[in-house]
Amino acid sequence: MALPPGMLPEIEPVSRESTAAVIARQLRDAIMTGALPPGTQLGETELAARFQVSRGPLREAMQHLVSEGLLRSERHRGLFVIDLEPGDVYDIYAARSAIERAAMLRALRGGDRDRIADLLEQTVVEMATAASEDDPSALSTADLRFHEALINASGSKRLVRMARTLLIETRMCLTALQSTYQRVEERVEEHTKLIQALRDGDEETALALLDAHMEDAVQRLAPGTSLTDGHAPPVPGNA
Amino acid sequence: MALPPGMLPEIEPVSRESTAAVIARQLRDAIMTGALPPGTQLGETELAARFQVSRGPLREAMQHLVSEGLLRSERHRGLFVIDLEPGDVYDIYAARSAIERAAMLRALRGGDRDRIADLLEQTVVEMATAASEDDPSALSTADLRFHEALINASGSKRLVRMARTLLIETRMCLTALQSTYQRVEERVEEHTKLIQALRDGDEETALALLDAHMEDAVQRLAPGTSLTDGHAPPVPGNA
DNA sequence: CCCTCTAGGATTGTCGACAATTTGCGTCCC
DNA sequence: GGGACGCAAATTGTCGACAATCCTAGAGGG
């Protein structure tokens, strides 16, 4: 170990990521941003040619996305990008509400409230920047990064893992219904208030704001449904 | 459609499940029950021979289990059954608490409280039977089935999906620390009270009982940690 | 005696080809 | 003209072999 530590940061093996992981990430992004619209069929042969790999690694990537819930697989038929029905929007936000509530609780009680608040504020700055530049896509990305950061801050491996798919699905929702969104100032403001409550250690307010945040989103994306009262989703595409 | 409906129930194609899914399920069970102890290395070649399939479908099954979090994959090294550290126990129950709280809320507000309560009571009967026969393994299985039923009753695809891995990990915990468990009557009683609160629609009591149930389990499995106050897990194996 | 380098074995990663299944269309019979 | 049957194309499922990578053990040199 002749090299002093800290000199060459992040010098990692040329291929630190498996081929399948790279492909999965690319497809994830494509699905998330809407480049691959819901319902499209993904042919293995075609994709293998596009990525210049064999069908083996590609299948692996696809299966990963299937188990994440982004693709649905029909045996001997093909793989399709999931399409989100109104019932799914309800379901996604109900699940997110559960996860983020838990994450917030752990952040509140975990100790480093100020450090976490600082991290979150960073993403709000990104939101504000995107808002001032009138870039809805970047705004949604920053929004999601806020929630991702909150969940990461919880320090729970499993909350993080479970949230990954949910946040991607959320992004799909936002992409699909980008236009019908609220005033950007309001959207930024909601997050700012959330951070303040966290910084103050005000559990009741923080959880209430979080619930309201989710409730707002659900009512905007799937009008007529509600998280708090157990009102049935319009299209119950659930098990 | 000459056949009257309801006559031949569940007549499905001979092989409705993919090969990989069958293998994955078998391995899942083996891991869950402790037949494959934590830390075991799973060689692809060896397993492929045991299951009499090629490495293709087998790899697919393995990758599925990896993404579920039951196996950990070290590139070019092999696949290993995860071993749960005390910090993981904390993490598992924190996540379960979040999921089951949400499921309980939806069950409470969803409508069919009595129907759900009946379903749950069925699993408690299983628990009582296992208890009277002094079969700890069956008791744990029934216990898990209670919670699985609760989450299924929520009607949320995503809660169900996220809970699957958690319940398997819970089973691993119970298997590993089977002996140090509480009085069986108490264990059955806790679930019974939970059902009663659900049937009554008493949200406050139901949620409090659920929290207490989780807190009890965590303190038994990982003494010194607590879910409710944010007390740090002893071995923070988290990100 | 310790460190380094090298060769061996074993395991995973990748590939191309073959087999099984499904779907859609064309044809034939009624 | 309507319906059922059967064929063919396309796609997924499966397989065995080859290549790349990593750990281990041993010899050699300092």
In which band, very low, low, confident or very high, does the pLDDT at A179 lie, cut at 50, 70 and 90?
Answer: low
Which residues of B in 4-63 have their CB below 7 Å from strand C's atoms?
Answer: 13, 15, 41-45, 55-56, 59
Q: In this predicted structure, what is the pLDDT of residue B163?
A: 96
Among B64, B67, B158, select the one facing A92 at the smallest CB separation: B158
Task: Say how far apart CA B1 and CA A46 lie, in whole Å.
Answer: 38
Q: Which nucleotide is nearest to B48 (CA to C1')?
A: D15
User: What is the residue-averaged pLDDT of chain A?
Assistant: 87
Q: In this predicted structure, what is the pLDDT of residue B147?
A: 98
Q: In this predicted structure, what is the pLDDT of residue A229?
A: 66
- The secondary structure of chain B in percent helix, strand, coil, rounded to multiples of 5, reads 65, 5, 30
Task: Say how far apart CA B204 and CA B212 lie, in whole Å.
Answer: 12
Task: Say how far apart CA B216 and CA B114 lie, in whole Å.
Answer: 27
User: For an interface test with B, which of A15, A16, A158 has the most B Cβ atoms less than 10 Å from its Cβ?
Assistant: A158
Quote the Cα angle for A7-A12-A13, to 5°. 145
Q: Which residues does chain A have within 8 Å of residue B95's beta carbon, measured at their own beta carbons?
A: 102, 156, 158-159, 162
Contact A109 B230 (CB under 8 A): yes
Contact B56 A56 (CB under 8 A): yes
- Tokens 């949200």 appear where? B203
pLDDT digits (tens, 9 = 90+) for A10-60: 445 566 788 999 999 999 999 888 899 999 999 999 999 999 999 999 999
For chain B, 239 residues long, the average pLDDT of each consecutive 10-residue run is 49 73 94 91 93 95 92 92 91 97 94 93 95 90 96 95 93 79 84 97 96 91 74 53
Task: Say how far apart CA B90 and CA A158 lie, in whole Å.
Answer: 11
Contact A156 B95 (CB under 8 A): yes
